[in-house]
């Protein structure tokens, strides 16, 4: 008898593999024939101008949108038809272009909910207490993203950069195997960008990270490889150095802004 998936193939499975993935919105091909493979533990950035299809591609990976073509595999498993919550159960977590935290709850309670994997309207919220198993985890998550001092602050009172940090901590709460970050540096000050890049650099190296980034400095600091999307298609892929000097990339995207 031959096993369908041999142990060798299992180990060799990509963390994420897209084959010929496309998504149309009526007449608009927002994502076209995208093939992409991320090794476990890889840090990959997707860059591209506004409207290139980056967020749509993310939504296809998370299952918030269904592709109109192609297949998506997560650690060797075809997840193309799986709903988002089942992909989350397989180890996928994401952040949004606009931080999705609960502004009227404290940082502690936001993290507490994330650790328990629930939303506030699904349970009557009871504050975590020192004896709860989640209590230490919440403190550790806050520590990891530099928000330990702000545990009792309302999430809505945090700076934009701190809300980003909180959102990342909330995504980490499920101990994801693949973390997707949609423009984590958007709206951050230069100082906040630096601490974000440091935070991303300090994440568990075995976790696979796919980030969409508009900010070249952050993308190039964090990612080992960069994929460039333009009008829904991949036009280049390579190391940050190769991408920064690729004339096609400079023409469509970096233009005069690179190196600012």
Ligand X SMILES: Nc1ncnc2c1ncn2[C@@H]1O[C@H](COP(=O)(O)OP(=O)(O)O)[C@@H](O)[C@H]1O
Taking residues 20 to 59 in sequence order and writing x for each that binds ligand X by CB under 6 A, - otherwise, the string is -----x--x-x-----------------x-xxxxxxx---
CB of 74 to ligand X, least distance (A): 20
Q: Which of residues 52-91 bind ligand X (CB under 6 A)?
A: 52-56
Residues 28-57 within binding reach of Mg ion (CB under 5 A): 54-55
DSSP labels, the chain: ---SS-HHHHHH--SEEEEEEEEEETTEEEEEEEEEEE-TT-EEEEE--TTSSHHHHHHHHHTSS--SEEEEEETTEE-TT--HHHHHHTTEEE--SS----TTSBHHHHHHHHHHT--GGGS------TTSHHHHHHHHHHHHTT-GGGTTSBGGGS-HHHHHHHHHHHHHTT--SEEEEESTTTT--HHHHHHHHHHHHTS-TTSEEEEE-S-HHHHHHH-SEEEEEETTEEEEEE-HHHHHT-HHHIIIIITTTTT-
| 30 binds, options ligand X, Mg ion, none, Cβ within 5 to 8 A by partner type | ligand X
Taking CB under 6 A as the rule, does residue 221 contact ligand X? Answer: no
Indicate the residue among 25 and 157 with the shorter CB distance to ligand X: 25
Among ligand X, Mg ion, none, what does residue 226 contact (CB within 5–8 Å per kind)? Answer: none
Smallest distance, Å, CB 183 to ligand X?
A: 8
Query: How near is the Cβ of 28 to ligand X at its closest, in Å?
Result: 6
Q: Please, which residue, 20 or 201, has the CB nearer to ligand X?
A: 20
Binding status of residue 59 toward Mg ion by CB under 5 A: no
Taking the complex as a whole, the smallest distance from the CB of residue 169 to Mg ion amounts, in Å, to 22
Report how many residues bind ligand X under the rule CB under 6 A.
Answer: 11
CB of 236 closer than 8 Å to CB of 247:
no
Contact positions vs Mg ion (CB under 5 A): 54-55
Contact positions vs ligand X (CB under 6 A): 25, 28, 30, 48, 50-56
């Amino acid at each position: 008898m031959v096993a369908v998936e041999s142990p060798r193939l299992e180990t060799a499975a990509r963390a994420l593999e897209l084959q010929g993935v496309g998504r149309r919105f009526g007449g608009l091909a927002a994502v076209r024939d995208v093939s992409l493979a991320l090794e476990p533990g890889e840090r990959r950035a997707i860059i591209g101008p506004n409207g290139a299809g980056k967020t749509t591609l993310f939504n296809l990976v998370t299952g918030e949108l269904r592709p109109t073509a192609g297949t998506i595999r997560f650690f060797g498993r075809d997840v193309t038809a799986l709903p988002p919550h089942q992909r989350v159960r397989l180890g996928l977590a994401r952040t949004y272009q606009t931080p999705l935290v609960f502004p009227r709850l404290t940082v502690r309670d936001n993290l507490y909910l994330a650790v328990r994997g629930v939303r506030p309207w699904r349970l009557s919220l009871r504050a975590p207490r020192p004896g709860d198993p989640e209590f230490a985890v919440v403190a550790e998550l806050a520590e990891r993203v530099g928000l330990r001092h702000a545990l009792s602050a309302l999430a809505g009172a945090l700076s934009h950069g701190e809300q980003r940090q909180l959102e990342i901590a909330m995504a980490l709460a499920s101990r994801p195997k693949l973390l997707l970050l949609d423009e984590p540096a958007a709206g951050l000050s230069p100082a906040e960008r630096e601490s974000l890049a440091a935070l991303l650099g300090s994440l568990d190296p075995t976790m696979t990270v796919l980030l969409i980034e508009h900010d070249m400095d952050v993308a190039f600091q964090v990612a080992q490889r960069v994929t460039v999307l333009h009008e829904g298609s991949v036009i280049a892929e390579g190391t940050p150095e190769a991408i920064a000097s690729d004339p096609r990339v400079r023409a469509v995207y970096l233009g005069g802004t690179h190196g600012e």
